[in-house]
Amino acid sequence: MKFVSSMASALIPKTWPFDSRLLPETACVVGGSVRDALLERQAEYLDLDFVLPDGAVAIASAIARRYRAGFVVLDADNQIARAVFDQATIDFAQQVGPTLETDLQRRDFTINAIAYHPPSDRLIDPLNGIADLRQQTLRMVSRENLAEDPLRLLRAYRQAAQLGFTIDSDTRASIRELAPLLQKIAPERIRHELDALLSQPNGSACFKMAWQDGLFDAWLPHLNAGHAQQLANLDSALVNLPNLPGYLQLLHGWKDTVPAGHYRSWIKAARLSRLLPLDEEAAHRWLMRLKYSRSEGQAIFRVLQVQPYLDRMAEQNGCLSKADQFFLFKFAGTSLPAVSLVALSMGIPATAVGVMVERYQTPDDPVAHPTPLLSGKDLMRGLNLKSGPQIGQLLSAIEQAQASGELTNADEALIWAKDWLAE
């Protein structure tokens, strides 16, 4: 079968960051890049996977040296290496089995088992993956292949969300039967697939399917229908976002530096917060078990911490006392974008959420970004106090008075502190 490509296709050799003549005649592109080209899905970052009958690591090394690209051996035993260019990652893998068809037979789903041979502009499709692409169906190559790497079970729902595909009924039945195997998978790999799934626009619906099929029984045993409904409410909020300048960009933003391959956005953080156990200690254990970084775990947990304030806001039609607003912003911190999305999903009026977001985006807002009126050193110096628990208690009391609007500057706070001590 001939492959008719557009000039923007990632499979056209002249779009690659190296000369295709450096590859042996037998080299083929496989996997997601072939699938996405057939679906006319374009990505900003080029990611190609080549299969070669032999010499994969040596060829990858030679290409990386010639173009001064990064180079790493991913798996010496199975001869898999990677060359990293500025705008592309190219993987080279040794063919598994005596033929390319044998290699393709070992893959997860038929749509990922299509190869492209550049010199002849020919597609190699022994498992009818192209037909499944046309039918928008995710179909397993074999039950044994799924069992060989159980993470493929979870990947099915992520790819279904990513592509907007339906999972074949026999494939889904096999996934249900094999679901207990996921408890043996390393938590880092589970977290990566969970993050990828919840980062897709249709991720919540496919997450619910995966949960119903038992894929999270070992990792998220506390989940129930209420959690699924909260995810659905978030999706409804995303469809009906208020018209706030830059709001969608804010939700997709994340201030930390993100390693390649990680999925970070405040939308994902909001979704994950809806899956946390209500008990704070249990929520911390859950985040630690799935190996979330300290910064990301704290960002997600902060959304859970402000839940009491959001509940009051919902009960009071979007209104909060000045003190409650002060502490909502304090506990939310940089997670406020995720908090605002959760607020919308709870039915809090868009006008109230808009005010919240506007205050957050105003650096000198006295409620959203308050400056502490006094430090511990100020108190010790001004009131001739010694370091101890009393300083912390006094700072907390001053903060409460500042939150309610009773105190607005350092001089007032010092006088107030003196009276507080006298009482």
pLDDT recorded at residue 8: 43
Q: Hey, what amino acid is at 312?
A: R
- Contact between 159 and 138 under an 8 Å Cβ cutoff? The reply is yes
Strand order of the β-sheet with 88-94 is: 70-75, 80-85, 88-94, 46-52, 28-30, 115-117, 122-124
CATH topology (fold) of 136-215? Hydrophobic Seed Protein (1.10.110)
CA-CA distances (angstroms) from residue 297 to 293, 294, 333? Answer: 6, 5, 13
pLDDT (tens digit, 0 to 9) for every residue of the chain, 423 residues total? 344 444 347 888 999 999 999 999 999 999 999 999 999 887 778 999 999 999 999 999 999 999 999 999 999 999 999 999 998 999 999 999 999 999 999 999 999 999 999 999 999 999 999 999 999 999 999 999 999 999 999 999 999 999 999 999 999 999 999 999 999 999 999 999 999 999 888 889 999 999 999 999 999 999 999 999 999 999 999 988 988 888 999 998 875 444 444 578 899 999 999 999 888 899 999 999 999 989 899 999 999 999 999 999 999 999 999 889 989 999 999 999 999 999 999 999 999 999 999 999 999 888 888 888 888 888 888 888 888 888 888 888 888 888 778 888 888 888 888 888 887
Residue ranges per structural domain of the chain? 9-134, 136-215, 240-361, 376-422
Question: Rounded to an integer, what distance in angstroms lies between the CA atom of residue 167 and that of residue 240?
Answer: 28
CA distance 91 to 205: 32
Domain 9-134 has CATH 3.40.50.720: no
Q: What one-character-per-residue DSSP string does 269-315 give?
A: HHHHHTTS-SSHHHHHHHHHHTT--HHHHHHHHHHHHTHHHHHHHHH
Tell me, what's the pLDDT at 257?
41
DSSP 7: T
Whether pTM > 0.75 for this model: the answer is yes
pLDDT at residue 326 in the model: 87
Tokens of 167: 């999972």
Residues 6+ apart with CB under 8 A from 179: 153, 213, 214, 215, 217
The conformation of residue 25, written as its DSSP 8-state character, comes to T
Q: Are the C-beta atoms of 401 and 327 separated by less than 8 Å?
A: no
Helix (H, G, I), strand (E, B) or coil at 2: strand
Residues 155, 187 contacting (CB under 8 angstroms): no
Distance CA 346, CA 344 (A): 5
